Every structure is written in structure tokens, then in C-alpha cells.
Amino acid sequence: MDPQLWWYLARVGGLMSWWLLSATVLWGLLLSTRLLGPRPTRIRLLDLHRLLSLLSLAFLAVHLLSLVADSWVDLGLWQLIVPFISDYRPVAVAWGVIALYLAAAIQVTSLLKSRIPYRWWRGIHTTTFALFVLTTVHALTAGTDARAVRWTGLLLAAAVAFLSTYRLLAGRRMDDRADEARTASAPARQPIRRELPGSRSVVVHRIREIVDDVALVELVAADGDRLPAWEPGAHIDLGLPSGRIRPYSLCGDPADPTTYRIAVRRAPAPEGRGGSAEVHRLRAGQKITLGRPRNRFPLVLADQYLFIAGGIGITPLLPMIRAAAAADREWRLLYGGRTHTAMAFADELLALDGDRVRLVPQDAEGLPDLGAALAGTRPGTSVYCCGPDALITAVQQTVAADFPDRHLHTERFGGTAPEPAPTGHFTVELRRSGRILPVAADRTLLDVIREAVPDAPASCEEGVCGSCELRVLSGTPDHRDTVLPDGERTRHDVIYPCVSRAHGEHLVVDL
């Protein structure tokens, strides 16, 4: 093998490891500064942070192995373990050796985060800044790519300095506000009026009843500006005048940046919790707030689609159907409802392509024939279903039993009723603060968490939207949400505290 190859591999491995480490530091700071959203940090964003650090370690291994194999540099294993004994630039190599130990300590404590005191992990994790400085100095003094490192290092140092300062200042303000909220809420135990993360003010441009008990609401920005872009399947969190926050699927045109459309069915008591009735009481010109669009039900590219809707579950499917038709894809819709007069957008769908739409009003035709609809599709067809829990369950069972080669995507518009707690009360530990809180059998985990963290995010509070997602560090979650698909309901690393509880007596969450 060409002797120079090892030297080039060492340079590539070292530079890639340093760049990925820098990206890890910057990403961690972005998460902690809340520039990417309020706490708690989304699970996928934390996973990306961990992935960057693991990739950095992988390239570090390439760097070290290549140096040992390189006969020109002539570095032995001991010289890479013990600082200041190298014959090749001993001081420069020593910075890298010390950085290696720091990286090992940070990675080990991160892997053991759930088993060690939080303050230990935090203290060692903070040395990442020292690791960043040491690796930068090592890259500048030990290699032959000093110019690339110098300019990159200056930009990274400026970004780290800015984010660190922002984190310090913003963190203090947020902590002060949290303390004030806790102090204000403690004596009276009043419900906390929550603000939507990243919310903006909108105006009800128009509201009208389109079918029995279903109101179509059109929203425009209060400042006349464009609204955030969205894709079929997305929903928004609506901040109502009472302080309630409710998620609703967008059913308008994603190409229209000026208007959002939602359709809301008025849920009768005791089925509803007041949100839908409050939406029906809105009037044109009234101001409310909404959060940014979120999409847990995206439309994937496919040659053939079967859409199955139950009642108001047609709302997220409507933009999907329009998109499939515009892309000239093969599609069909099976749409069931209580009565024909209660089926929203029926006329609009029939006008789009009446031959592809099958309306099944229950009072006249009974329940939709799911088997027949699925039998008319080819293997590989994407099946999208939204509606009540009974419809979702029936579709899942039919697909699993007779059509396993179809790709099923589901979204419920209402949560399932919580089952009795199998263990009654339990305790939850908030690892970041060290607080241990009792959760009584008649209280939700989210309610208890809000006593300590008043701004803990949540939206639907029915286990549907996933906005209250928390990382579990220890214990076994009792999943009662409808966010997790069937294949992930044994996960131990995440919980949706608005409806889910714990199997066992103790749960530890990353909060």
C-alpha cells in the first residue's frame, strides 16, 4: 500500500472528526438556547445531536489508526495515549491526547446519563467547550491543513461565542419567568394559561357551517403577512380565547400562503371538552393565535393511493386527494359518515372526480366495506386512513390479515379513552432538576409535571398530536397515546404524558 495513503487518511479522518465535533457543539447549543423551539427538546433533534457525536468518534478512530499505521509520522500507541512523549511535535500531539480523554469521558457519561446524577453528567458535558478548543489548537498546530482549520475555526468560534452568550442570557430570563409562574400558581392552584410556542396572531376571516355541526374556518395573518408553508397532512395548534389549545388538520390549499382553512365538528358533551364548541362560537374579525404547522401524517410518493375517511377525518385527506389528482396519480376515496348531510366536502370531492369517490352514509348503507375497497388496490398501494378509533382499528386488522403488502398510514382525530391504571399511583423524577413528584391514580402525568414546569408544552391533551413528547431515561412507560404506531408501542425511550402512565412505581424523564 502507498505509504502516503495513511497520511492522507489521517488528515481526512482528523478534519472530518473536528468538523463533526464542531457541528455537535453548535447543534447542542442550538438545542439548549431554544432557537429551535421551547423545551423539552424534540426527541429527533436530540438523536441528531448524538449521531453527530458518534460520527465524530468514528472519524477520530480512522485518524488514530491511520497515524499508527503511518511509517513517516512514526507514532506508536503509547505516544497516542500518554501526552508529551511524542517525537513528532510533542506539544501539538499532547493537545490531541488530552482531547481524546475528554471525548471519552463525555461519551461514557452520555451513555450512562440515566444511571448517574444529572449534575455529574452536566459538569462533564460542559467540558465539551474545552474539548472544542483543544481539538482546534491541535488541528492548527499538528497537521498540514492549518489554513482551512484557521478560517473554519474563526467562524465556528464566533458562532459558539454567540450561542453561548445567548444561552446564558436567555436561560436566565426563562428561569426567572418559570420561577414567577411557579410562585404565582402555587397558592391558588389555578390552571395555567399556556402560550403556543412560536405562536402568531391570526384573524378569523370567515366562519360558516358547511354541513350539520361542522364549521369551516378561514384564518388570515393579523399583520397581513404570509402564513408559514405546509404540506398535505399537516395540522396547526389553535390558541382559543379561553386559553384552550386544540390541534386541527389543515384542509385548504398549500399553495395559498395567505389563508389557512380548518373544518371543526362540534363534539357533544361528554365526548367533547369544550374546544370544538368554542371554535363554533368564533366570529369573523376575531383574533386568536396559532402555532406553526406540524406534520405527523405526511403524504408519501406512490403510484396508487386508497384514502379511507370517517366523518371529520376527511380534513387531512382532502389536500392529499387534491395533490394526488394534480400529480395524475391513481387514487380512490372511501368516505363514511353518519348521514349524507353530515359528510363535509362531499360535493367538492364528487366534483373533483365522482368515479373515484365512494360515499357511504351509515344511516342508508351501513358501514363501509373495507375488504372490497382494499381488494381493488394493487400490492404496494399507499392506504391513508383518518377517522375515529373504531375505523382505524378495523382498517389495521383488515390490512394485517388480508392485505399485508399494502402500506398503511393512519391518523386518529380523537384519542382513545384511558384505561384504568394498572399500578395506581407512581412517582416521576425530573432528571434535570432532581425533583421527584407523586402521580396519583386520578391525575395525569402531564398535570403533575406542570406543577414543576408550568410551560411544559402540550396541545390536544388526548394523546393524538404528540406535542407533549418526553424522553424516558428510566422506567417502563404505559403507552395510551395514538401517536405511536403498533410496532413501536413497546418503546421505553419516549412517553406522551397527557394520557400515558407508568408500568411500575417509578419513572425518570429528561426534563
Sign of torsion over alpha carbons 476, 478, 482, 486: positive
Highest mean pLDDT among 6-10, 45-49, 439-443: 439-443
137 against 32, higher pLDDT: 137
Average pLDDT of span 383-406: 93
Pairwise CA distance, residues 88 & 75, whole Å = 7
Closest to 348 in 3D by CA, of 302, 309, 386 = 309
Q: Per-residue confidence at 190, pLDDT binned at 50, 70, 90?
A: very low
pLDDT at 63 over 90: no
Highest mean pLDDT among 7-16, 279-288, 475-484: 279-288
State the pLDDT at residue 2.
59
Average pLDDT of span 362-369: 94
Query: How far is residue 10 from each of residues 57, 72, 173, 255, 331, measured CA to CA in Å?
Result: 14, 12, 45, 49, 54
State the pLDDT at residue 186.
38
- The pTM for the full model equals 0.58
Sign of torsion over alpha carbons 339, 344, 350, 354: negative
pLDDT at 125 over 70: yes
377 against 87, higher pLDDT: 377
Q: What is the CA radius of gyration of the chain?
A: 27
Sign of torsion over alpha carbons 58, 60, 63, 65: negative
State the pLDDT at residue 61.
84
Enter the C-alpha cell of residue 37. 423551539
70 against 378, higher pLDDT: 378
Highest mean pLDDT among 64-68, 175-179, 430-434: 430-434
pLDDT at 114 over 70: no
Pairwise CA distance, residues 251 & 237, whole Å = 14
Instruction: Give the chain's mean pLDDT.
Output: 81
Average pLDDT of span 71-84: 69
Query: How far is residue 214 from each of residues 310, 345, 452, measured CA to CA in Å?
Result: 14, 10, 38
7 against 387, higher pLDDT: 387
Closest to 432 in 3D by CA, of 113, 92, 22 = 113
Q: Give the position of cell 395573518.
A: 221
Of the candidate ranges 135-149, 270-284, 310-324, 398-412, the one whose mean pLDDT is the lowest: 135-149
State the pLDDT at residue 370.
96
Query: Is residue 59 a contact partner of residue 66, using CB atoms and an 8 Å limit?
Result: no
pLDDT at 37 over 60: no
Query: Is residue 456 a contact partner of residue 40, using CB atoms and an 8 Å limit?
Result: yes
Average pLDDT of span 310-325: 95
Pairwise CA distance, residues 105 & 73, whole Å = 27
Closest to 40 in 3D by CA, of 433, 467, 478 = 467
Q: Which long-range contacts (CB under 8 A, 24 or more apart) does 64-73 make?
A: 64/13, 64/100, 66/6, 66/7, 66/9, 66/10, 66/13, 67/6, 67/10, 69/6, 70/3, 70/6, 70/7, 70/10, 71/3, 71/6, 72/3, 72/7, 73/7, 73/10
Measured CA angle at 366 (ends 363, 368), to 5 deg: 130
Q: Per-residue confidence at 329, pLDDT binned at 50, 70, 90?
A: very high
Of the candidate ranges 76-90, 134-148, 183-197, 414-428, the one whose mean pLDDT is the lowest: 183-197
State the pLDDT at residue 310.
95
Query: Is residue 452 a contact partner of residue 432, using CB atoms and an 8 Å limit?
Result: no
Of the candidate ranges 219-233, 266-280, 335-349, 387-401, the one whose mean pLDDT is the lowest: 266-280
Pairwise CA distance, residues 114 & 133, whole Å = 28
455 against 37, higher pLDDT: 455
391 against 419, higher pLDDT: 391
State the pLDDT at residue 161.
67
Average pLDDT of span 196-221: 90
pLDDT at 437 over 90: yes
Sign of torsion over alpha carbons 429, 430, 436, 438: negative
State the pLDDT at residue 477.
92
Enter the C-alpha cell of residue 101. 480523554
Other CB atoms within a 10 A radius of the CB of residue 408 amount to 22
For 241-294, what is each residue's pLDDT tens digit?
988 888 899 999 999 999 999 999 998 755 556 788 999 999 999 999 998 898
State the pLDDT at residue 327.
92
Half-sphere exposure of 352 (CA within 13 A, CB side): 21
pLDDT at 44 over 90: no
Per cent of the chain over pLDDT 70 is 77
504 against 346, higher pLDDT: 346
